[in-house]
Amino acid sequence: MLGYHDLSLAVKFGVQFGLFGGSVASLGTQRHHEKYLTDIGTLELPGCYAMTEAAHGSNIRDIETLARYDKKSREFVINTPTGRARKVYIGNAVRHGRMATVFAQLQIDDARYGVHAFLVPIRDREGKLRPGIRIRDHGEKLGLGGVDNGSIWFDHVRIPRENLLNRFAYVSADGVYTTTIPGDAKRFFTMLSTLVGGRISIATAALSAVKSGLTIAVRYGARRRQFGPVGEPEVRILDYRSHQRRLMPPLATTFAIDFAVKHLVRTYLARRGMMSREVEVLAAGLKAYSSWHAVHTLQTCREACGGSGYMAVNRFASLRADTDVFTTFEGDNTVLMQLVAKALLSDFQEQFEEARFLGIVRHVTGKAARAIAELNPIVTRMTDESHLRDPEFQLGALRYRENQLLVSAASRLKKRVDKGMDAFAAMNDCQDHLLALAHAHVEREILEQFHDAIEDVPNAQLSSILKTLRDLFALSRIEADRGWFLEQGYIEGVKARKIRTLVNRLCHEVRLQALPLVDSFAIPDELLGAPIALSEFATERSSRG
């Protein structure tokens, strides 16, 4: 909802309650909860989440800020050893933050214990910086002008021992380290789990921005006329096939992602205790998919509104600028998609851990190949509409793609490691493959959730239009990746052409419902703002009354 209003506000909100408050809630213990959560919730204590450093954004495990335990004073000493280690892009830092959750390498005597989170007061009640804290404004950004991002340096800042967020790790007064999660890697990833909520929020906020953009572009396209047959009124631009091709698949995709994100939110809220791997992977994948969808769709919408779309008053300037950073913050999209792929691969490996890995790969690949060979005459050439619109075909295609990419990625990695390549180099050598796998996984998840959601819709008319949207989403995705499906022999040329023809028709069907569909986003005119989208202009709607 905040995303419809102002994305800077949504981000400030996310930093305060999601990241800062969330880190205290999930990494702290009762004493932190009692002392801080109420004040954080009432905004009495505005805070920051200081993780990213100049030299380490994605690779958080190697951050260099140091938290040395001083046994004598029983304090931690937080220090920024070099310019590379300054905290950067920290929201709420420049103006409002009074405290920060600071991620730093814990050191006791000469021993290092990895990344831990500490509560560090950075300003007093009057808003004056506390001793040892230096903060610099990043200045103008591409967007999100309402967020006070800045760099923070810590010069041997002393904090009480109690300020370690100690849910998973504890340092006794005399400097003995204990932890409830013995594995360094597992503890580290548990510490990062606060980010999952943030990623879900980004996926949602990106969708809010897309819904605003599509509402503006669809209403404009349904009103704007340009060119036409000789002697007749000019044609509404939304009645041109190219315009439908540009806007209708993104509209269908927006509905599809929406159902998947709602499912993710339900799963996230229903979790017990630790963050499940399932939620973590889905949040990473949907954050990336939804934010890229936003960036591309908003660009398309802007262009689809021509000169009007370039005027700031029509909102695309801020919608684009404010969502742009969603693709790289709280986890760079490309890095997150690799996280998805790696999780799939390790699940796959675990599944067969007792068998000889390569043997399994050969077995599965062989089975898949046979399955396809059997499919060939029946399915690869089937082109009738009822087949193409059958969710079994659509889901089958996306499941097949994911499985094939998983099996072949595993097999390619194995081959490289067997040849003596180290794991890191092998991963890099297959990186494009891994990204394709992650992409295939996320699209399959989205389609499944969309499909399941439709099953629950009792109203036949509503169910019917949702099915059309699902068909358009699924088939336009298969069309976009038809190179892969053709390469695999999963479909033949004639089927690819039929899919294109059907996507054209589905674009037209969805266009006929496009105005009520964007109306269903229910964005109040006051928040939509754009003059070209306001109802007084939407003559087609009123005339249909």
Residue numbers 458-477 binding a copy of itself by CB under 8 A: none
Q: Of 110-118, 248-256, 366-374, 484-492, which part binds a copy of itself (CB under 8 A)?
A: 484-492
Cα–Cα distance between 15 and 318 in angstroms, integer? 20
Q: What end-to-end distance do the CA atoms of the chain give, in Å?
A: 28
Binds a copy of itself by CB under 8 A, chosen from 358, 464, 497, 542: 497
Q: Of 23-31, 39-47, 385-393, 416-424, which part binds a copy of itself (CB under 8 A)?
A: 416-424
Q: Is 509 in the site for a copy of itself (CB under 8 A)?
A: no
- The DSSP symbol for 212 reads H
Instruction: Please state, in angstroms and as integers, the Cα–Cα distance from residue 212 to each residue in 207, 303, 524, following that order.
Output: 9, 15, 10
CB of 245 to a copy of itself, least distance (A): 6
Q: Is 179 in the site for a copy of itself (CB under 8 A)?
A: no
- Tokens 């959560």 locate to 37
CB of 231 to a copy of itself, least distance (A): 11
Q: Is 366 in the site for a copy of itself (CB under 8 A)?
A: no
Binds a copy of itself by CB under 8 A, chosen from 64, 75, 162, 332: 332
Binds a copy of itself by CB under 8 A, chosen from 173, 176, 230, 378: 230
Q: Is 431 in the site for a copy of itself (CB under 8 A)?
A: yes
CB of 204 to a copy of itself, least distance (A): 20
**Would you state the structure tokens that stand for residue 530, as one six-digit string?**
């754009």
Q: Is 39 in the site for a copy of itself (CB under 8 A)?
A: no
Write the interaction track for a copy of itself spanning residues 375-414; mark x where CB under 8 A is met and - where it is not: ----------------------------------------
521: helix, coil or strand?
Answer: coil
Q: Which is nearer to a copy of itself, 293 or 482 (CB)?
A: 482
Q: Is 432 in the site for a copy of itself (CB under 8 A)?
A: yes
DSSP secondary structure of 72-93 = TTTEEEEE--SGGGSEEEETTT
Q: Is 310 in the site for a copy of itself (CB under 8 A)?
A: yes
Q: Is 245 in the site for a copy of itself (CB under 8 A)?
A: yes
133: helix, coil or strand?
Answer: strand
**Would you state the structure tokens that stand for residue 353, as one six-digit string?**
């851990």
User: For 112, what's the count of Cα atoms within 13 Å in the CB-facing half-sphere?
Assistant: 11
CB of 20 to a copy of itself, least distance (A): 18
Q: Is 188 in the site for a copy of itself (CB under 8 A)?
A: no
CB of 63 to a copy of itself, least distance (A): 12
Q: Which is nearer to a copy of itself, 431 or 513 (CB)?
A: 431
In the chain, the largest separation of any two C-alpha atoms, in whole Å, equals: 91
Binds a copy of itself by CB under 8 A, chosen from 435, 502, 510, 514: 435
Q: Is 35 in the site for a copy of itself (CB under 8 A)?
A: no
Binds a copy of itself by CB under 8 A, chosen from 258, 324, 402, 471: 324
CB of 22 to a copy of itself, least distance (A): 20
Binds a copy of itself by CB under 8 A, chosen from 176, 312, 378, 460: 312
Q: For the stretch 400-425, what's the b/e string if a residue is b when 16 or more beta carbons lie within 10 angstroms of its beta carbon?
A: bbbbbbbbbbbbbbbebeeeeeeeee
Cα–Cα distance between 152 and 93 in angstroms, integer? 8
Q: Of 115-123, 219-227, 344-352, 366-374, which part binds a copy of itself (CB under 8 A)?
A: 219-227
Residues paired with residue 90 on neighbouring β-strands, in sequence order: 150
Given a contact cutoff of 8 angstroms between Cβ atoms, the answer to whether 318 and 312 are in contact is yes
Q: Kindly identify the residues of this chain, within the stretch 263-302, that bind a copy of itself according to CB under 8 A.
A: 295, 299, 302
Q: Is 317 in the site for a copy of itself (CB under 8 A)?
A: yes
CB of 155 to a copy of itself, least distance (A): 23
CB of 488 to a copy of itself, least distance (A): 7
- Tokens 């905004």 locate to 43
Q: Is 306 in the site for a copy of itself (CB under 8 A)?
A: yes
DSSP secondary structure of 393-457 = HHHHHHHHHHHHHHHHHHHHHHHHHHTT--HHHHHHHTHHHHHHHHHHHHHHHHHHHHHHHHHT-
Q: How many Cβ atoms from other residues are within 10 Å of residue 59's Cβ?
A: 10
Q: Is 429 in the site for a copy of itself (CB under 8 A)?
A: yes
Classify the phi-psi angles of 86: left when phi > 0, otherwise alpha if psi is within -120 to 50, otherwise beta. beta
Q: Is 422 in the site for a copy of itself (CB under 8 A)?
A: yes
Given a contact cutoff of 8 angstroms between Cβ atoms, the answer to whether 307 and 322 are in contact is no
Residues paired with residue 157 on neighbouring β-strands, in sequence order: 78
Q: Is 303 in the site for a copy of itself (CB under 8 A)?
A: yes
Q: Is 486 in the site for a copy of itself (CB under 8 A)?
A: yes
Using CB under 8 A, count the residues that bind a copy of itself.
76
Q: Of 120-128, 220-228, 373-381, 388-396, which part binds a copy of itself (CB under 8 A)?
A: 220-228
Helix (H) or strand (E) holding 11: helix 7-13
Cα–Cα distance between 502 and 494 in angstroms, integer? 12
